[in-house]
Amino acid sequence: MASRRDFLHQGLRLTALGLVAVPLAQAEAARAGRDQVDAAGTTELEPPPDLFDAQVVDIDFWVKPRTLSLIRPQSGERTSVLYWKDGEVIDSAYQELCHLLRDVNGKASIAIDPKLLETLWASQAFVARYGLDRPLEILSGYRTPASNNRLIEQGVPAARQSLHMSGKAADVRIAGLTEEVLGGLVKSFRQGGVGFYYRSGPKGGWIHTDTGLNRTWKG
């Protein structure tokens, strides 16, 4: 994503224009009016389209310490780790995150693009501002070429030149957010590709996010 300096300049510019995030009270009211409970009893947050717009933030959002809370359903792992502080990535925490985003099936890991971690953190931290403080589920992180080919053979949506194979992509979801809302938020960061994967069922679909070219698609 953009450098810390770019974020600082952006924050100052937005502050000068008076463009700040939607007040918490308004966001909670919007959420309360749009919560939907499906037959399985799961709650989905459907706020107005402009509620989760990452281009409308204050400077403090980008300079505060960054803690990622992640769940890896496939392996049953979870972590909550401070990985960035005072403008620097904390190496031990970064290594832990690279391990959690490993190819579980292929039993291999790779250096994850720090820009991807920034997108994951920003998505989680942004919705937490509105009272939805939940861990981010990592459905897929790094994939070995063999694992990626296996998915293709099984008919699972996977690109032959997938950025998952270079540690630059992840498939994620946050409980309580629809694909439309989470994908819209990730898209608003304007820092890579966003795929919307809609699925029915109690757990729903997921969002693909990567640090490649800015583009969107539905799968």
Q: How many whole angstroms separate alpha carbon 90 and alpha carbon 75?
A: 24
Segment 26-77, tens digit of pLDDT:
333 333 443 433 334 444 444 434 456 777 777 888 899 999 999 999 999 9
* Distance of alpha carbon 215 from the chain centroid: 16
Segment 3-30, tens digit of pLDDT:
444 433 333 333 222 222 332 333 333 3
State the pTM of this model: 0.76
**Partners of 103 in the β-ladder:** 108
Maximum distance among all alpha carbons in the chain? 53
pLDDT at 173 over 90: yes
Q: Specify the residue for token string 């909550």.
A: 80
What would the DSSP string read from start to end of 88-125? EE-HHHHHHHHHHTSBTTTTB--PPPHHHHHHHHHHHH
Q: How many whole angstroms separate alpha carbon 127 and alpha carbon 132?
A: 6
Which tokens in the block code for residue 117?
Answer: 């971690």
Other residues' Cβ atoms within 10 Å of the Cβ of residue 53:
17
Q: How many whole angstroms separate alpha carbon 186 and alpha carbon 171?
A: 12
Which tokens in the block code for residue 26?
Answer: 């308004």
> Going by C-beta distance under 8 Å and a sequence separation of 6 or more, which residues neighbour residue 122?
1, 54, 189
Residue 21 corresponds to which amino acid? Answer: A
Which tokens in the block code for residue 195?
Answer: 């795929």
What pLDDT does residue 40 have? Answer: 41
Segment 124-171, tens digit of pLDDT:
999 998 888 999 999 999 999 999 999 999 988 889 999 999 999 999
Segment 68-122, tens digit of pLDDT:
999 999 999 999 999 999 999 999 999 999 999 999 998 999 999 999 999 999 9
Which tokens in the block code for residue 84?
Answer: 């960035």
Q: How many whole angstroms separate alpha carbon 197 and alpha carbon 34?
A: 22
Give the CA-trace dihedral at 146, 72, 62, 187, to 10 degrees. 60
What pLDDT does residue 71 have? Answer: 97
What pLDDT does residue 219 have? Answer: 87
What pLDDT does residue 125 have? Answer: 93
Pairing between β-strand 169-173 and β-strand 136-140 as defined by DSSP bridges? antiparallel
Query: Quick one: which of 98, 174, 101, 179 has its CA closest to 134?
Result: 174
What pLDDT does residue 51 have? Answer: 52
Q: How many whole angstroms separate alpha carbon 199 and alpha carbon 209?
A: 17
What pLDDT does residue 179 have? Answer: 92
